[in-house]
Amino acid sequence: MKSSTTTPVIDIQNLSFAYHHSLVLENVNLQIQERDFAAVIGPNGGGKTTLVKLILGLLTPDQGKIRVFGRPPREASPDIGYTPQDTEINSSVPMSTEQAVLMGCMRGGGGWRRFSASDREMVREALTQAGAEKLATKQVAELSGGQRQRVMLARALVTRPRLLVLDEPTANVDSQGQSEFFDFLQKLNDQVTIMVVSHDLMVLSSHIKSVVCVSKQVHFHDRPEITSEMLSAAYHCPVELVTHGPVPHRVLAAHEPDDNA
């Protein structure tokens, strides 16, 4: 775990959480510092999405505490931008890209309200920041997967958050679009702390600064790479990494039993 004299962006201490008496996260201790770019990895059902919901304040821990920017998550919500795993918008509902991003201005507003000139200016800024300014007048239903992801990112950025949380942000994007998207996030990381849940480990590995392995327990790695040891800690089984490049290579985990599995 990182140590710092400044207040961590995310500070989790001795946290446990259960669904219907089934323990999902156990004794989690985690700190994410300002301007980190953290990848959250782990098996399906390991607790990644639950961890995200706790950080967003959508769930309350059974034990321990969690602070975001030194405050309870719900109080810190104006400083958090979020894109969920499912970013599909009903194609039968006519909606422009600008209107979709405006929806981000409603967060925490207590329901429907008239949008101000300031709101619309923030939308223009967010679309520009997300590299989607040319899409403002297009219908969301007409966008490609990569374009739609940029729009959803703009919606998360419209309130000018200090922390950006993305859950499987490139699930429906082709490989070139994924690489371009993470290149963009890397630039955005100069201004915003980023936490991204993803199974696309090879794309992430060239962009991230730290890794959070989640499988009931949480292991934090302050390294800008994903190693076989990290994957074994998260998945509790031998893992083989295969990558393609100028010199194809493999990194193999030791095939040893996990006494804690």
- Taking phi first (over 0 means left), then psi (-120 to 50 degrees means alpha), and beta for anything else, what does residue 13 get? beta
Angle among Cα 98, 196, 186 to the nearest 5 degrees reads 75
- CA–CA separation, 157 and 138 (whole Å): 19
Which residues in the chain belong to E strands, given as ranges? 10-19, 22-32, 37-41, 63-68, 80-83, 163-167, 193-197, 210-215, 217-221, 240-243, 249-252
Sequence ranges of the domains in the chain: 10-226, 232-261
- Residues 108-151 have pLDDT tens digits of 444 555 778 888 899 999 999 888 889 988 998 888 877 888 88
Tell me how far apart the alpha carbons of residues 175 and 200 are, in angstroms, rounded to a whole number.
10
Which of 215 and 253 is assigned the larger pLDDT? 215
What is the pTM (predicted TM-score) of this model?
Answer: 0.80
pLDDT for the residue 105: 81
Residue in the block written with tokens 């490139």: 170
Residue pointed to by tokens 């329901």: 111
Q: Average of pLDDT values for 39-48?
A: 89
Produce one character per residue of 106-115: b if its CB has 16 or more CB atoms within 10 Å, e if not. eeeeeeeeeb
Say how many C-beta atoms besides its own lie within 10 A of residue 249's C-beta.
10
- Taking the alpha carbons at both ends of the chain, their separation in whole angstroms is 22
- Placement of tokens 């403002």 in the chain: 136
10-226 CATH fold: Rossmann fold (3.40.50)
Please tell me the least confidently modeled range out of 177-191, 229-243, 246-260.
246-260
Query: Is residue 249 helix, strand or coil?
Result: strand
Find the helix or strand (DSSP H, E) in which 124 lies: helix 117-129
Mean pLDDT over all residues of the chain?
A: 82
Q: How far is CA 173 from the centre of its chain?
A: 16
For residue 202, name the pLDDT band (cuts at 50, 70, 90).
low
Please answer whether residues 162 and 69 qualify as being in contact, where contact means their C-beta atoms are separated by less than 8 angstroms. yes
